[in-house]
Structures are given as structure tokens and as C-alpha cells.
Amino acid sequence: QKEVEQNSGPLSVPEGAIASLNCTYSDRGSQSFFWYRQYSGKSPELIMSIYSNGDKEDGRFTAQLNKASQYVSLLIRDSQPSDSATYLCAVNGAAGNKLTFGGGTRVLVKP
Amino acid sequence: SQTIHQWPATLVQPVGSPLSLECTVEGTSNPNLYWYRQAAGRGLQLLFYSVGIGQISSEVPQNLSASRPQDRQFILSSKKLLLSDSGFYLCAWSDLASNQPQHFGDGTRLSIL
């Protein structure tokens, strides 16, 4: 059973602080990794993709990947109330065509 | 650019009634297509995926079925709905190449009475 694990939260963060979200995965053959943001009642929206070890930055978001530790994280800098949402980690396995999603981490940014 | 359309946005159906949800993708060819269900407060459960016309893979046993009559059309169906079929149904697409992200439609919120 290929698994993707996330802390369900809620992760409460003051406005302007850094939110740090973690995700671990079990399939060592995983090739690609994605973070989605899902607002309540809405569909998931892709915010970050990462394929190789290290950091990838896009605006206020930074994704970090460590394949040896089977760990991927998302940092949200200068958190805003509009960042309050559930963040889903998704991992594409060796087969390449299917994503396995974590249960999501709920983030609350308080003004 | 690519867009994905899913309808209806909300649906209320009685137990035992049939179901048909449709999803279409524009701006790309030969996409991979996916149907997910998300129960309230839960994660995404992959129901079906398709890599081409008429090619459907089922991930979980259930009373739902899927069809892909055209390259960019994906349909989710049921002959008789159960109470447990309630949930948020999401269609997604990805490029045919491996390791590509999936992009979701707006979803259909299905309530069974």
C-alpha cells in the first residue's frame, strides 16, 4: 500500500509568519511531487511541483524535497489570511500516471 | 490554454435513482482523465482513470462506472445510487507523459436523499 502522510492540523499561524507543512511518502520509486491548495468547498488547485532534491521557490512558496528521507515540505512565507486552506501533498509513483494524495493539512492564518 | 469543465455543480438525487456526471477538457489532446470522490472532511479517493478512448481502470469496487466515449470526454455513471455515494466528485486531467501534475475541474457536490 503506497502511502502519503500529512499532519491533519489545524496549523495555526500568525499573519506574516512562516507556515511549515510536512509530508512523508512510502514509495521509494516516486518521481514527482506536488502541493495543492484546497479552499473549503472548492476543488484542489496546483501551487507547486518539484521533481529533484533541494528547494524550489515560487513567490511566497518554497517546496523542499529529500528523496533519501522520503520527505517533502512546503513553506509559506509572509502568511496571509487568504492562505487559510487545506494543503494536499500528492506523489506520483513509479508507474507515472496516478497520484497518491495525503489527507491534507488544514492551515489557519490569524490576523 | 487548457480548461476542464464539469457539470452540474450541485446535484440532489433520491436513493435508487441513476446518475450521470460529465467532464470535458479543452486545449489538449490525448489527456489522462481521472474521477475522484472526496467525502466531507476526508482525502481524495481515486475512482477511475483513463489513458485513452474506451480504456478505463477502476480503482475501487463500487456501484459506479465510467466511460470515455471521446478523447476529451469522461463520464461517471450509476444505475442505482446509494446513500454512501454522497460526496464531492472531481474530474481531473493530466498530460499523457508520465509524472505530470493533475488539474481539477470545479467538482460536483452530490447529495443522496
Tens-place pLDDT, residues B11-37: 999 999 999 999 999 999 999 999 999
Contact (CB<8Å) A34/B46:
no
The answer on pLDDT for B47 being more than 80 is yes
The pLDDT value recorded for residue A94 is 62
The answer on pLDDT for A1 being more than 80 is no
Cell of B93: 486531467
Contact (CB<8Å) B102/A51:
no
The CA-based angle B104-A42-B101, given to 5 degrees, is 25
Which sign does the torsion angle of CA B54, B60, B65, B66 carry?
Answer: negative
Window 27-66 of A: residues touching B by CB (8 A cutoff) are 31-32, 34, 41-46, 49, 51
Tens-place pLDDT, residues A28-63: 989 899 999 999 999 999 999 999 999 999 999 999
Q: Which residue of B has its CA nearest to A51?
A: B99
Q: Taking CB atoms and an 8 Å cutoff, what residues of chain B touch A44?
A: 44, 90, 104
Nearest to A97 among B51, B104, B105 (CB): B51
Asked if residue B75 lies in contact with residue B69, where contact means CB atoms within 8 angstroms, the answer is yes
Rounded Cα distance, B56 and A28, in Å: 27
The pLDDT value recorded for residue A82 is 97
